[in-house]
Every structure is written in C-alpha cells, then in structure tokens.
Structure 1
C-alpha cells in the first residue's frame, strides 16, 4: 500500500525538535475582534447601499483594464495564485514534505481545517447574499444583492489570504514567520487588486474577502485540540492497518505427520482396541506378517487392516524363518534398500517338485 510506504519512510526520518503550537493570546484575540468588527461593518455598508456601494460603481465605471491594457496579459496569470485548486496543490506539496520531515500530520491537517472553514463560511455568505458581479449588474447605484449571484465576498481574495497565510502560521522560527507573513500578505493584496482590475469583483467584495481570510487564520488556534485528536486517530488507524497486513502475510505451517505404530488388540469379546488405549506397548507389525494369522510357534501376530484383508490367504507356505521387524517408511534411513515382502527364491518350492492337489481327490 502506497500510504503505508509513505508512513514507513516518515518513520525513518530523524526526530525533529518539539514544534510550538500557536495559542490564543490576548494580542490574537484583540486582532480577531477588530477584524470581525471590520467584517460586519462592510456587510452593513453594502446592505444599506452606503457610500461604499457608490465607490464600487465609480471604480467599475473607471474600467482599470482599459486604462492599463498592457498589464492585462500578466494579471490574467497572476490571478491564478488566488484560485483554490492550483494554490491548494502547491501548498499541500510543500506541507506534505514538512509532515514527512517533522514526523507529524499537523501541517496537512491544519491546511485541511483552514480550507474547510473557508468553504463553509465564505460559501454560506456568498449564497446567502447572492450579489451579482460588475459584469452582470443591472441597475447603476444598486448593491445588486439577493439576485442569484455568488461573488460577495471575493473567493479568490479569501483563498489567497488563507492558503498562503497558512505557511506563516506553521513557521517554526520567528524570522521565517515574519518573512512568510509579509510574502503572503503581499500575494493576498495583489490577488484582490487584480480581481478589481479585471472587473470580476467589486471593491467591497475584495475588502470582505481579506477580512474573511484573516478571521480564519486568527481563529485557527481554537481548532488545534481537534487537529491533535484527529492526528492521533489517523496514526492509530494506520497502526491497525499495518498490524492487520502483518497478520494477513503470515501463513500457518502445515502439520508434520508423526509416524504411529500400527497395532491393535482383540479383546475376548471380539471388540477392537488399541494397545496404547489399554496401557500396553504398541506392537510393531513384522515385515512378512501381512496375510498370516499365526507364526511357527503358534503365537498370534497382529495383521494391519490396510495390509491384508480378513479373507486373504497366504500365497506361499509358512516358513520357520523368524520375521524381521517392520520399519515404517518415515523411519527408514535414506540408504536403506526396500526389501520385498515375498520370500526369497531359496524358500520357494521348485516347480514340478510337488503335484498340485486335485479338488475332491485324496490328500
């Protein structure tokens, strides 16, 4: 599994220093309150068709893309830095490498939580207010609200603030955080101004987009406990998958057959009983005892049921030669020759030396 190999590579990296998780300090709470007040002021100004709406129309009628047409080709590409898909892929690649090096899933989970909050908050306001864009405006001086649009606040601007600002939020040193904050703020301001230049957003859309993205970044420390619990659950699930794969890869070895002595004893009542059950030593079957029921001294020998049937008769006359003990196949030495159970040629009667008895004739 690819994910399992990625985690295995992550486990082989050296342990990083302890990462500092941002907290909701008083300074951050104060900034959050000021940004929230600015956010609400813009919404109220647009709802009441105040001076801000008049400014929107003046900028739109100015048509910046006609005033500076030489910038149009470059800004068409620059505005892509605010689109959610391309920016999320670029930032996720960087944070994925950070997660690998730092042995933690926090960078990726923080980005996921920020984008989720962005989609929920900005999307809800967009659909709720339904403002039309400058290219689709129907009445000069109108706020164009509740007309089925989806541009207020600006999604490009809010996404640029959150996606590039998350790099500064996750910085591990004060110097890196300072430079990344300046860079992400410049990108977010540039993307917002570009949408106004291209005529795709009102100026108030961009202002509300900046405020919406900044609110998410300032409120992320409240999500840190949930991010920590999610990371613990993901790593525990990974451990269960690895344990399940390890158990699935192990196979149970086949049991090795153990040689068992062949033998049985007949009780006086005629019932078959094993010698091991009766507490006696198992009797090994002689090599030449197949098909015989008694030896030369009249002592009873056991016959294995799978070697000779009960009705089988001896094809050769019984000899006085002492039988050899039978050695099971699994206990034979590798060089032990296989001995035939038939008697040797010396023990056989010569052909023609003894007349075959005629049925019904004299004995």
Structure 2
C-alpha cells in the first residue's frame, strides 16, 4: 500500500518539471519583454536617440578598433546561425527522445523554431530596414528600403535554440546552468554582429526581445504539442503494422515446441497412447484448430514458464495395480524358503 501511494507522486514530479506553466513570474517577464519590444520599435520608427546611438556605434567601427578578434568572432557568430545550431541541438534532443521514449523534446524545438521564423521573418520583411554596410543616409533609420535585418535573426535564433535546452531541463540545477549557457551565447552572438557591422545595436536589442517572447510563449503550445505527439506515435505504429515490422507480443508457446529451445518441454504422448477424452480448443475455446486433451482436474492457467502438465506425462493404464513394481516384493502365490509360510501365518493370525 505504501508503494502504491508513492507512485503518483514520483510520476507527477518529472511531469511538472518537464512542462513549465505560465506562472506569475513568467507573465511578469512576458509583459516586461513586450514593453521592451514595443519601445525599441517605436524608438527606431521615430528616429529617436536609439537611432543616433546606432550610428555612433557603426561609425566607431569596432572591427577596425580591435582587429585581433575578427577571426575568432567570425567563427563564433556561427553559434547564432539557424542551420548549424538547429542540427546540433536536434541531435542532442533526438538522443533525449530515444532515452525518455517521447517525442516532446524535438516537438518543442520544432515548435519554437517555427514560431521564431513566423514572428521574426514577418517583422523583418515588414520593416525592410537596411544594415549598416548598406546604409544610405547618415542619421536615418533606413526603414522600408528593402532590407531584412530588423530584428537580428542571429540573435533571436541564439536565444531560442540554446534557450530550449534550459526550457527542457528537468532539474532546477540543470535549468540554471543551461540558462547561463544560453544567456552567454545570446549575448555573445548579438554583440558579435555589432562588432562585425552586420547589424545595428537596436537590431540586436529587438532580437533578444523576440527570442525571449518565443520561449515565454512555449507553455501555451504544450497542449498542441501533446496532441501532435499522440498523432505521430499513432501514425508510426500503423506504418510499422503495414510494413510487417510492428512489435508483436510474445505468444504463448505451442504444445509441441522445437527441441532444444529454451521453452522446450518433455515429449508429449501421441493421441493413440492416451485414453479417449473430450477434446477442447486452446485456452478453453471449443473446436480450435489445435486441440488438446481435456484434463480431469482443473489446472492453473498457462503461465510464462511452461511446466509439463498432467496430459504430457506418460499415461498409466486404467487396469491393474497402480502401485509401482518393486524388485524385492514377493508375489502372493510364490513359495518362500519355508514353504507356504506366508499363507499359514495369515491363517493363524485370522484364526487367532
């Protein structure tokens, strides 16, 4: 009884950790991030001090001020590219799916990347801002000029791709460590794009906000991901059934197993060696294709480990004595060393 009472608690604990809910703290973070997102967009559209800061950083040209870091940061910025990072994280989460026997980690990654592409891609094409290398007028916001760099895709992708690992962490310690790693990659990739001159500083700020919004919206997508997992598993099971590779439950061994196998039983007597009895089907079903002899006594149902049942033993003929023959037993009609003393002794004992 104690074990049964503790089982639900052990099952609920990993579920609560693996499926974050929209708590009050998450709602507060969502509201704050939305405020930063809106303020950044408004600041760029109105050509406020944020645009002047963009131009000051761009004219400073950090890649010329510190050229010794250029080669390293050229490779480091790959940590924000969608293709390489998605493949790397997908391989890790695929192993987690195999280990946990669930599709949820890959579904979370796919849902987050799909939401990121929809939100960030639409905003990029909508604003059409040009990058620092293609700017035309000093001091302008370079909006609606055919560009696609606002917000920064590298920065938003670094936040989402590495943040998914923290989102899927199952322990508080692992979640904190993964959050620090994701924060380091997101900050480093964003500032690297500013150093290389491929993005304005405001692009990076909006990319951070866009990535955090995607991560904060994932708990609302959990029911959809759960239904998708059930659907995909059902389709996979049907495909394996149609292809003939579906896992088949272990069948009950037949009454005539192959000799030498691990489930082999002693030899079964032929039908002509057994007394006539009523034949019944396997497992109590009358008229089955493989009938066996009904037992005179009720036996326990067939278990996983087969033992020789009574019908499989060597039958005993109904006539004659049922006692086993002994070599030292003297027949009643035989004459012993003292003549018929056995008979005389029995007569004397009877007569008194």
Q: What is the TM-score normalised by the length of structure 2? A: 0.65
Residue aligning to 1:90? 88
CA RMSD of aligned residues (A): 1.9
Residue aligning to 1:79? 77
Following superposition, the deviation at residue 17 of structure 1 comes to: 8.0
Give runs of aligned pairs for residues 188-203 of structure 1, distance below 5 A: 188-203=186-201
State which structure, 1 or 2, has the greater radius of gyration over its C-alpha atoms.
Answer: 1
Give runs of aligned pairs for residues 254-269 of structure 1, distance below 5 A: none
Find out whether 1:26 has 2:11 as its counterpart: no
Secondary structure of 1:23's partner?
Answer: coil
Structure 2 contact 103–229 (Cα < 8 Å) conserved: yes
Following superposition, the deviation at residue 16 of structure 1 comes to: 12
Residue aligning to 1:299? none
Residue aligning to 2:108? 110
Structure 2 gap ranges (5+)? 1-10, 247-352
Structure 1 gap ranges (5+)? 1-14, 249-363
Give runs of aligned pairs for residues 144-163 of structure 1, distance below 5 A: 144-163=142-161
Q: What is the aligned length?
A: 236
Residue aligning to 1:236? 234
Find the aligned partners of 1:16 and 1:26 in 2 and give their Cα distance.
21
Per-residue CA deviations over 1:241-290 (Å, capped at 9, x if unaligned) read 12212299xxxxxxxxxxxxxxxxxxxxxxxxxxxxxxxxxxxxxxxxxx
Find the aligned partners of 1:171 and 1:102 in 2 and give their Cα distance.
13
Find the aligned partners of 1:171 and 1:82 in 2 and give their Cα distance.
21
Find the aligned partners of 1:245 and 1:143 in 2 and give their Cα distance.
59
Greater helix fraction, Structure 1 or Structure 2: 2
Q: What is the TM-score normalised by the length of structure 1? A: 0.63
Q: Do the aligned partners of residues 31 and 16 (structure 1) sit closer, same or farther apart at CA in structure 2, a change above 3 Å counting? A: closer
Residue aligning to 2:140? 142
Find the aligned partners of 1:106 and 1:245 in 2 and give their Cα distance.
25
Per-residue CA deviations over 1:181-240 (Å, capped at 9, x if unaligned) read 011001100000000000000000000000000000011000000000000000010111
